Amino acid sequence: MSLMWSYTCSVGIEAMDDQHAALMDALNELLAALSHGADQQTVSGCMAHLTTLTEQHFASEERLMERYEFPGLEGHRLEHRALLERLYEWQGKRPVAGYLSSRLEELRSWFHSHTEGADREYGPWMRERGVR
Protein backbone atom coordinates (compact mmCIF):
# COMPACT_ATOMS: atom_id res chain seq x y z
CA MET A 1 0.00 0.00 0.00
CA SER A 2 2.96 2.35 0.48
CA LEU A 3 4.61 4.30 -2.30
CA MET A 4 7.97 3.10 -3.58
CA TRP A 5 10.57 5.24 -5.33
CA SER A 6 11.22 4.26 -8.92
CA TYR A 7 12.90 5.70 -11.98
CA THR A 8 9.52 6.93 -13.23
CA CYS A 9 9.39 9.32 -10.23
CA SER A 10 12.68 10.98 -11.19
CA VAL A 11 12.70 14.29 -13.05
CA GLY A 12 16.51 14.24 -13.29
CA ILE A 13 16.98 17.33 -11.13
CA GLU A 14 18.62 16.27 -7.86
CA ALA A 15 16.95 18.81 -5.55
CA MET A 16 13.48 18.07 -6.96
CA ASP A 17 14.03 14.31 -6.82
CA ASP A 18 15.14 14.64 -3.18
CA GLN A 19 12.01 16.65 -2.39
CA HIS A 20 9.80 14.12 -4.16
CA ALA A 21 11.39 11.36 -2.06
CA ALA A 22 10.70 13.37 1.13
CA LEU A 23 7.07 13.83 0.05
CA MET A 24 6.79 10.13 -0.62
CA ASP A 25 8.17 9.39 2.85
CA ALA A 26 5.68 11.79 4.46
CA LEU A 27 2.80 10.24 2.53
CA ASN A 28 3.97 6.77 3.58
CA GLU A 29 4.06 7.92 7.22
CA LEU A 30 0.46 9.08 6.89
CA LEU A 31 -0.53 5.79 5.24
CA ALA A 32 1.15 3.81 8.01
CA ALA A 33 -0.52 5.87 10.73
CA LEU A 34 -3.93 5.29 9.19
CA SER A 35 -3.42 1.60 8.55
CA HIS A 36 -2.24 1.05 12.13
CA GLY A 37 -5.18 2.90 13.64
CA ALA A 38 -3.14 5.79 15.04
CA ASP A 39 -4.93 8.33 17.19
CA GLN A 40 -6.38 11.56 15.83
CA GLN A 41 -3.46 13.68 17.03
CA THR A 42 -0.89 11.46 15.30
CA VAL A 43 -2.83 11.39 12.04
CA SER A 44 -3.34 15.16 12.16
CA GLY A 45 0.38 15.63 12.76
CA CYS A 46 1.26 13.43 9.78
CA MET A 47 -1.21 15.35 7.62
CA ALA A 48 0.20 18.71 8.73
CA HIS A 49 3.74 17.51 7.99
CA LEU A 50 2.74 16.31 4.52
CA THR A 51 0.97 19.60 3.80
CA THR A 52 3.96 21.69 4.92
CA LEU A 53 6.39 19.66 2.80
CA THR A 54 4.02 19.92 -0.16
CA GLU A 55 3.80 23.72 0.19
CA GLN A 56 7.59 24.00 0.41
CA HIS A 57 8.18 21.70 -2.54
CA PHE A 58 5.65 23.43 -4.76
CA ALA A 59 7.17 26.84 -3.96
CA SER A 60 10.66 25.53 -4.72
CA GLU A 61 9.59 23.87 -7.95
CA GLU A 62 7.73 26.97 -9.14
CA ARG A 63 10.73 29.23 -8.36
CA LEU A 64 12.92 26.93 -10.43
CA MET A 65 10.44 27.04 -13.31
CA GLU A 66 10.22 30.84 -13.09
CA ARG A 67 14.00 31.23 -13.03
CA TYR A 68 14.45 29.16 -16.18
CA GLU A 69 11.25 30.42 -17.84
CA PHE A 70 9.65 27.00 -18.20
CA PRO A 71 6.71 27.46 -20.61
CA GLY A 72 4.43 25.07 -18.72
CA LEU A 73 4.66 26.97 -15.42
CA GLU A 74 1.08 28.27 -15.29
CA GLY A 75 -0.50 24.89 -15.91
CA HIS A 76 1.82 23.34 -13.37
CA ARG A 77 0.97 26.03 -10.85
CA LEU A 78 -2.75 25.33 -11.32
CA GLU A 79 -2.20 21.63 -10.58
CA HIS A 80 -0.28 22.57 -7.45
CA ARG A 81 -3.01 24.92 -6.23
CA ALA A 82 -5.71 22.32 -6.80
CA LEU A 83 -3.89 19.75 -4.67
CA LEU A 84 -3.12 22.25 -1.90
CA GLU A 85 -6.79 23.23 -1.74
CA ARG A 86 -7.71 19.56 -1.30
CA LEU A 87 -5.08 19.09 1.41
CA TYR A 88 -6.34 22.15 3.30
CA GLU A 89 -9.90 20.89 3.01
CA TRP A 90 -8.95 17.43 4.22
CA GLN A 91 -7.06 18.82 7.21
CA GLY A 92 -10.21 20.60 8.34
CA LYS A 93 -12.37 17.46 8.34
CA ARG A 94 -13.16 15.76 11.64
CA PRO A 95 -12.40 13.06 12.39
CA VAL A 96 -9.51 13.52 10.01
CA ALA A 97 -8.46 9.85 10.20
CA GLY A 98 -11.83 8.56 9.05
CA TYR A 99 -12.10 11.14 6.31
CA LEU A 100 -8.56 10.59 5.01
CA SER A 101 -8.94 6.84 4.78
CA SER A 102 -11.41 7.35 1.96
CA ARG A 103 -9.13 9.84 0.17
CA LEU A 104 -5.79 8.07 0.25
CA GLU A 105 -6.09 6.43 -3.13
CA GLU A 106 -6.85 9.83 -4.65
CA LEU A 107 -3.74 11.30 -3.03
CA ARG A 108 -1.52 8.37 -4.03
CA SER A 109 -2.82 8.51 -7.58
CA TRP A 110 -2.26 12.28 -7.78
CA PHE A 111 1.33 11.89 -6.59
CA HIS A 112 2.14 9.30 -9.23
CA SER A 113 0.36 11.01 -12.09
CA HIS A 114 1.91 14.39 -11.26
CA THR A 115 5.50 13.21 -10.73
CA GLU A 116 5.39 10.79 -13.65
CA GLY A 117 3.55 13.24 -15.93
CA ALA A 118 3.69 16.98 -15.40
CA ASP A 119 6.92 16.96 -13.39
CA ARG A 120 8.81 14.88 -15.95
CA GLU A 121 8.01 17.52 -18.56
CA TYR A 122 10.19 20.15 -16.94
CA GLY A 123 13.19 17.87 -16.30
CA PRO A 124 14.55 17.91 -19.86
CA TRP A 125 13.91 21.67 -20.11
CA MET A 126 15.97 22.31 -17.00
CA ARG A 127 18.77 19.90 -17.92
CA GLU A 128 19.13 21.61 -21.33
CA ARG A 129 19.78 24.80 -19.36
CA GLY A 130 22.42 23.18 -17.17
CA VAL A 131 20.33 22.40 -14.10
CA ARG A 132 21.28 19.14 -12.49
> Residue 87: inside a domain, yes or no?
yes
pLDDT tens-place string over residues 37-76: 898 899 899 999 999 999 999 999 999 999 999 999 999 9
Asked whether residue 104 is domain-assigned, the answer is: yes
pLDDT > 70 in the chain, percent? 99
DSSP per-residue string spanning 66-92: HHTT-TTHHHHHHHHHHHHHHHHHHHH
Domain with 113, as residue range(s), is 13-126
- Asked if residue 78 belongs to a domain, the reply is yes
In a domain, 1, yes or no: no
Q: How far apart are the C-alpha atoms of 55 and 83, rounded to whole Å?
A: 10
6 assigned to some structural domain: no
Residue 4 located in a structural domain: no
Tell me, yes or no, whether 8 lies in a domain. Answer: no
Region class of 94: left (phi > 0), else alpha (psi between -120 and 50), else beta: beta
Query: For residue 54, which of 46, 43, 66 has the smallest C-alpha distance?
Result: 46
* SS3 label, residue 30: helix
- Confidence class for position 1, pLDDT limits 50, 70, 90: low
Q: What is the pLDDT of residues 67-113, one digit of tens each?
A: 999 999 999 999 999 999 999 988 887 777 777 777 888 888 888 88
Asked if residue 132 is part of any domain, the answer here is: no
pTM (2 d.p.)? 0.91
| Per-residue pLDDT, 129 | 95
- CATH label of the domain that carries residue 97: 1.20.120.50
Q: How many domains does the chain have?
A: 1
Any idea what DSSP says for residue 13? -
What's the mean pLDDT in 14-43? 92
CB 116 within 8 A of CB 9: yes
